Amino acid sequence: MLATRFVLLILVTLAAEISYAADPDLLQDFCVGLNDSESGVYVNGKVCKNPKHVTADDFVFSGLEIARNTSNLLGSNLTEVFEEQLRGLNHEGVAMVKIELAPKGTNPPHSHPRASEIIFVLKGEIYVGFIGTNPTDATRPNKLYAKILHPGQVFMFPRGLIHFQYNVGKTDAVAYASLNSQNPGIVTIASSLFGSDPPVNPEMLARAFQLNLETVKYLQSLTWTRNN
Ligand SMILES: *[C@@H]1O[C@H](CO)[C@@H](O)[C@H](O)[C@H]1NC(C)=O
Ligand SMILES: *[C@@H]1O[C@H](CO)[C@@H](O)[C@H](O)[C@H]1NC(C)=O
Ligand SMILES: *[C@@H]1O[C@H](CO)[C@@H](O)[C@H](O)[C@H]1NC(C)=O
């Protein structure tokens, strides 16, 4: 009886650990990522720059006020402020991205394996949404949670779920998003599946997407533009 309770306690503790998993906590004031790809030292994140050499500039990223060019196949341009761009984010568990969308431009369906995201609309009208995981009842479809957002509105995308943004207005749209990882990762669904190198077996994709082989081969022949 006592043993059972003990096992239960351990399981509950483990479950709590798992559900709170995020970027690891810091044991010091900061750990500015060392901008050195040659040191050959790898940890989970970047090794810390010597704190004696850290300055305010290590915590600054500039240029978000400048409009980016959205004249590409997606009609969008992302400016990532991840650890790669701002070394001060190393081990802090936060990152940011500016999303610019031309009219009818999209930040195509994608997911972030390591972060939840909260998006704030600064300008324009943006259709946003995410799709829930497969329901346990296999006859029910996956649920879409979507909205058209206006300036001043905020929306959140749960970690790991497929989500998107699409400019449904007549003007350019601008949004800023924050993510709870220094390096959220981006998996763009279409370009990952149809633009991978080497290509995924097209017969498998045809079966999986209920498409004919020619359509899959056509999709695989396209150049998959990225917006970041
Ligand atoms: C995003 O905008 C920048 C600057 O305007 C440009 O250099 C870059 O090519 C654009 N990216 C894409 C994917 O169009
Ligand atoms: C934006 O990018 C397109 C495509 O690369 C290019 O033709 C156009 O000149 C660029 N616009 C500006 C303002 O740089
Ligand atoms: C890291 O170093 C490279 C090469 O010196 C430089 O181009 C890049 O801007 C640096 N990145 C940061 C975030 O300081």
Quote the pLDDT of residue 44: 85
Count the residues in the chain: 228
Quote the pLDDT of residue 40: 73
3-state secondary structure of 196: coil
The domain 16-185 belongs to what CATH superfamily?
Answer: Jelly Rolls (2.60.120.10)
Nearest-CA neighbor of 27 among 40, 11, 43? 43
The angle at the Cα of 49, spanning 47 to 55, to the nearest 5 degrees, equals: 145
Quote the pLDDT of residue 36: 80
| 53 in a known ligand binding site | no
| 91 in a known ligand binding site | no
Give the ligand whose atoms come closest to the C-alpha of residue 100. Answer: 1
Other CB atoms within a 10 A radius of the CB of residue 219 amount to: 17
Nearest-CA neighbor of 122 among 57, 65, 46, 51? 65
Strand order in the sheet with 154-157: 76-81, 95-101, 173-179, 117-123, 154-157
Q: Where are the domains of the chain?
A: 16-185, 186-228
Residues paired with residue 121 on neighbouring β-strands, in sequence order: 175
Quote the pLDDT of residue 41: 76
Output the CA 15–ligand 2 centroid distance in Å.
Answer: 50
Which atom of ligand 3 lies nearest, measured to the CA of 84?
13
Note down pLDDT in tens along the chain; length 228 residues: 556 555 555 554 555 445 555 788 888 889 999 988 777 777 888 899 999 999 999 999 999 999 999 999 999 999 999 999 999 999 999 999 999 999 999 999 999 999 999 999 999 999 999 999 999 999 999 999 999 999 999 999 999 999 999 999 999 999 999 999 999 999 999 999 999 999 999 999 999 999 999 999 999 999 998 888
Most informative mutation of 71, 77, 172, 227 for ligand 2 (most atoms within 8 A of CB): 71
| 117 in a known ligand binding site | yes
Most informative mutation of 64, 65, 68, 226 for ligand 1 (most atoms within 8 A of CB): 68
Contact assessment for residue 120 and residue 173, using Cβ atoms and an 8 Å cutoff: no
Find out whether the beta carbon of 68 lies less than 6 Å from any atom of ligand 1.
yes
Find out whether the beta carbon of 44 lies less than 6 Å from any atom of ligand 2.
no
Quote the pLDDT of residue 154: 98
Quote the pLDDT of residue 228: 82
